[in-house]
Amino acid sequence: MVARAVTIFHHEEQGGSCYPHPSPPPWDPAEDLCCITTTFQYLQTSGWYWGSISASEARDALLTKSEGTFLVRDSSHPQYMLALSVKTRCGPTSVRIEYNRGSFWLDSLLPGLPHLQSFPDVLSLIQHYTGSGRTPQDQASNEDNIHPKAKPSSVQCTAKDSGVPLRLMRPLCRPEAFPSLQHLTRLTINRHTNCPDQLPLPKRLLHYLQDYPFHI
């Protein structure tokens, strides 16, 4: 992962001097370690993190699945950690997941747009869009579409340069990582309550629920 920083200067016409924008507050690299470690722990537990498979392997896994099926994998681009691969109406495609200073968000091709909503971990990002009818495109300010950075696919959209709606409906678990009965029960409980810590359960079970506070 390569950190990128850009300093923008504003030129005052009358004075002719340049003033740098205020620097962001200091950031402790230990926060990066904690955030990234937590995200990968969640991903490993999820069952639909496919690790270091290629974009073509992700495409093959999703090709026969229904629209909205998705998985998370390692990005093949050296500047990114993760990518989201999803079956769209035009076939499988992939979108890079950005990370900076404790936040994750989906990448886009339009630098003039503000960042899409960011999240403290990838699971929260995916859950935000899953099954709610919301798409990353819905968050574009004053624009009709966000254009995802997609890997080439043999299934071409009618409009080559138009954005493809990314509707996330259901994760695709790895064949060797089919969820256990305990995990399926945890997912069901999480779908039906926002306060699992208030359930009349033994502390050990409450800790188990808190270890994965998601419903996907």
Q: How confident is the model over 172-188, as a mean pLDDT?
A: 91
pTM: 0.73
- 121: Cα separation from own chain's centroid: 8
pLDDT at 35 over 50: yes
pLDDT value for 134: 53
How far is 101 from 27, CA to CA, in rounded Å?
Answer: 7
pLDDT value for 4: 34
How far is 152 from 94, CA to CA, in rounded Å?
Answer: 9
Go through the domains of the chain in sequence order and give each one's CATH number.
Answer: 28-174 (3.30.505.10), 179-211 (1.10.750.20)
Model confidence pLDDT, tens digit, residues 6-24: 222 233 334 444 555 566 6
104 in Cβ contact with 126 (< 8 Å):
no
